[in-house]
Amino acid sequence: MVRRLACKRAYRFRFYPTPEQEQLLRRTVGCCRKVYNLALEARSTAWTAERRSITYVQTSAMLTQWKQTAEYSYMNEVSCVPLQQALRHLQTAFSNFFKQTGDYPRFKAKSHGGSAEYTRSAFTWDAKRNELTLAKMRGPLPIRWSRTLPRKTEPSTVTVSLDAAGRWHVSILVEEAIRPLPARGDAVGIDLGVDSYAVTSDGETIANPRHYRKLAERLEREQRALSRKTKGGNNRRKAALKVARTYARITDMRRDFLHKLSTRIIRENQTVVLEDLNVRNMARRCAPKPDPDNPNHWLPNGQSAKNGLNGSIMDAGWSEFRRMLEYKAEWYGRKLITIDRYYPSTQICSHCGAKTGPKGMPGLTVRAWTCPDCGTTHDRDLNAAENILAAGLAVSVCKDGRTGTKVSH
């Protein structure tokens, strides 16, 4: 009997609220943002002025006091559950900051949209009719069910979100038993790049779709139109919405590509090996710098961030691709190995093992080279992928590629 993995899985759907529902939802999202910002300001001020820490329990008491004042009495018009969840999210953000796994919490902006999370006590789920009704609403949300939810499951939390493009989405979190995929004997090493998105150790080259570049001209045109609009005017709001929709389209295209690629790789291979890339530092090193002689120009070669190597790295979405591989490998019984980021995969000959020195930055200089020891001619990316696979299989025997600790047998 195949053992199923019980885990929490979120299903995200688009919905189109009625005018009455949208008014309530916008008010709820706005109150959540206000509560989050007020609590963040209170905690930051207390520490800066008095070196005093404020806990989640204290911010919860503050919320009760805010709702009793005339200035914030409008918070009583929405459900109290999303407001309480906003304080919990702030507490999580501070915990991540103190653990050095996240940055210091930042204030939420209205232009970025927002979200509201409802726990089980704040919504009603009708499994027979497939209807979801939130607190203080008369009717169910008009959701476009693009996929079916698992049978005999009850949502634990529901998150309603409004993005900058004005689209409403609902994310339904359920407990699901996922069946692992049949075991395979295939293993693959993947070398991520900019010229080609990825090259695998079995010789497959995955083209880089360059989603940002496809819509760069339209985005630049819309941003110029936005800069000419008067601040605070209705025309500026419409122009900003156009820019946000173009950005949303780029994000959707990138996410669709990464989901399809990661799913295919997990289905076709039992073991997947990646490099532990530090994407943030790579993008920072490749970012263009302002020309000190002319602030309107950029160095090197007058490249802008969207057309230079920095923009290509950020457009690739390597971190999101790895995250998808991680949770899908866990779901479907696959093994994902990440080798050390300093492993010289491009400098080693995959045929004889000779170390031949640096080959330049990826995508800039040497694309093919011949090993001086054995005379084998290598494609740069294919050779790196083969070395990554070999290193990953080696560390899987004696060490964990991410932590460097030994694995018990």
For residues 358 and 208, the answer to whether their CB atoms sit within 8 Å is no
Task: For residue 220, indicate whether it is catalytic.
Answer: no
Annotated active-site residue in 117, 275, 315, 386: 275
* Three-state DSSP state, 137: coil
Q: Would residue 154 show up in a list of annotated catalytic residues for this protein?
A: no
Report the DSSP beta bridge partners of residue 259. none
What is the distance of C-alpha 396 from the center of its chain?
27
Which of 191, 222, 315, 386 is catalytic? The answer is: 191
Beta-carbon count within 10 A of 244 CB: 19
Q: Which residue among 117, 222, 315, 381 is the active-site one?
A: 381
Q: How far apart are CA 182 and CA 170, in angstroms?
A: 32
**Residue 191 annotated as catalytic:** yes
Q: What angle do CA 348, 353, 356 make, to 5 degrees?
A: 40
Concatenate the DSSP letters of all residues of 305-354 into one string: TTTSHHHHHHHHTHHHHHHHHHHHHHHTT-EEEEE-TT--TTTB-TTT--
Residue 288 in contact with residue 298, Cβ under 8 Å? yes
Half-sphere exposure of 357 (CA within 13 A, CB side): 6
| Torsion from C-alpha of 315, 191, 373, 368, nearest 10 degrees | -40
Q: Which residues contact 76 (CB under 8 A, 6 or more apart)?
A: 67
Catalytic residues: 191, 275, 381
